[in-house]
Structure 1
């Protein structure tokens, strides 16, 4: 069982939970924005967002605006998973949580010349999500099992794709922002090949959104654009893939635009999407 402490949070409709969770019983900050209306009959959709310290406020306020009635989307629970850090991105913790094992020789030099932090904990982090965080949220709110979304940016986008390719049953909507497909000498593409063989037999309806800034590094843009092509044969098998490329945006400035598009992706009905 996780040790859980609820704290008051200084913004209306928001709260913070502290979990000592996962294999290493490390501290996580779980920031939750309450939905702004009654639950639909099937329950609330939930958006789980990585790098919670960086994205929570923007995503929560965007959701508050975009779910206003009578014309807004259904109310949504926002769950941002962060760390006990004063920085928007905890580079050490996220490097471990969001990456698959990789040989150091396969990783590029870091911009500041420092050593790569410990890495390779993606599956342990997904276990934490599946076995501890998601059940906690289901205990707090009635949730719609058919509208469960996961969003991550950069290495977080890598984690989202790894989750889709290895645990497609876990979420219904996967949103990978500026994904670091290059990690581990493109080992993710081996996962994609196995996923493409396995997915038709699962009989699932899943959605994938990939976002990228047009001014990001050329290889990042090329990798993001390549993924929908690789996954196109699965359209007839129930996988809907879309790419949003934002002009004049770089790796960091693209985040607000990606978060706004995430809400439409996660919350619009099938009828609205047509």
Structure 2
């Protein structure tokens, strides 16, 4: 009886203590804006992650525009990597702007492709309109609402990397640096890569371009190498055949951010903070 009373009293005490605790508060990691794209069937979220110290300071910051930047896409991954990099001084603290994708095949592919690709990807070919949306709506919004310092870089993987290479070729001055992780340059029988090889003139902007490839087969690797060769000293090529298309982005993202947003820190060799560019455009 005594034991039963003790257990009941203890349970009541715990219940009262639990009830007295303050309610949990949400963890806020960013802000979100809603923008409509011309010709699109609805609005999309533009997600913003601010670097540590932004709210209580007056400094201006570079901006990293992230494709596939939805909450359920790559926004959390890249925002977390950027925060950790900044903590170590590996890359500059930056405003991360995640641009949500709705139909990646429509938004990120610039041409209809060959007959087989058109059948498999019937919505492909709307990248020019998406680029206009980024240039004329997203960038002006960010520049008006946040303290930016005029340095803009862009990052994406796979089809987003294809879009980034096309943007680097067609509007090279839109960003200061471009990061295309494992870009899908096999699309359209390597049309973008061949256009870079055959038509990149001397007047083309020297905006920095990071490219990478993993074990995705000789066709994709050859196309990426063609673009890197055409870019010359402007390019950094990360060759990681030991990685797969599914694993490369998470593993390479710290080095990619280091390349896109470099700092002046001198790192100890044992830290491993290097960007192992192959060939021209190598970076430490």
TM-score range, shorter chain: 0.7 to 0.9
Distance (whole Å) between structure 2 residues aligned to residue 59 and residue 78 of structure 1: 8
Kindly indicate whether residue 213 of structure 2 is the aligned counterpart of residue 206 of structure 1.
no
TM-score by length of 2: 0.75
Relative distance call for 1:270 and 1:226 in structure 2 (3 A) is: farther
Matches of 2:95 and 2:117, distance apart in 1: 36
In structure 2, the CA distance between the partners of 1:15 and 1:195, relative to structure 1 (3 Å rule), is: farther
Q: Is the 8 A contact 2:90 2:262 kept in 1?
A: no
| Structure 2 partner of 1:139 | 144
TM-score (normalised: structure 1):
0.78
Q: What's the counterpart of residue 245 of structure 1?
A: 239
Deviation at 1:120, TM superposition (A): 0.8
More moved, 22-31 vs 55-64: 22-31
Are 2:76 and 1:74 aligned?
A: no
Q: Aligned match of 2:110 in 100, 104, 114?
A: 100
- Take 2:53 and 2:195, find their aligned partners in 1: how far apart are those partners? 39
Q: SS of 2:244's equivalent?
A: coil
- Which residue of 1 is the match for residue 250 of structure 2? 256
Which structure 1 segments of 5+ residues have no match? Answer: 1-9, 84-89, 110-114
Q: 1:191 to 1:243 in 2, by over 3 A?
A: same
2:53 corresponds, among 34, 37, 60, to 37
Residues 46 and 76, structure 1, Cα contact 8 Å, conserved in 2? yes
Give the structure with higher Rg (CA).
2
After the TM superposition, which segments of 4 or more aligned residues of structure 1 sit over 4 Å from their partners? 38-41, 270-274
Structure-2 separation of matches of 1:40 and 1:208:
30
Query: Does the CA contact (< 8 Å) of 1:172 and 1:205 recur in 2?
Result: no
- Whether the aligned pair in 1 keeps the contact of 2:61 and 2:148 (CA below 8 Å) is yes
SS in 2 for 1:52: coil
Contact kept in structure 2, 1:166 and 1:195, CA below 8 Å: no
- Offset at residue 169 of structure 1 (A): 1.0
The structure whose residues are more often strand, as a share, is 1
Q: Deviations over 1:143-176 (max 9, x none)?
A: 122x211112111111000000000110010111
8 Å contact 1:37–1:75 — kept in the other structure? no
Residue of structure 2 in register with 1:176 after alignment: 180
Q: How much has 1:81 moved relative to structure 2?
A: 1.1
Query: What is the CA-CA distance between 1:190 and the residue it aligns to?
Result: 4.7
Aligned mates of 2:219, 2:231 — CA distance in 1: 18
Match of 2:131 in 1: 126
Counterpart for residue 5 of structure 1: none
The answer (yes or no) to whether the contact 2:35–2:46 under 8 Å persists in 1 is yes
Q: Do structure 1's residue 15 and structure 2's residue 47 form an aligned pair?
A: no
- What is the alpha-carbon distance in structure 2 between the residues aligned to residue 73 and residue 271 of structure 1? 9
* Partner residue, 1:112: none
Residue 73 (structure 1) shift? 3.6
| Counterpart position of 1:225 | 225
| 1:244–1:33 Cα change, 3 Å | same
d(CA) in 1 for partners of 2:152 and 2:131? 14
Rounded to whole Å, the distance in 2 between the matches of 1:170 and 1:143 is: 15
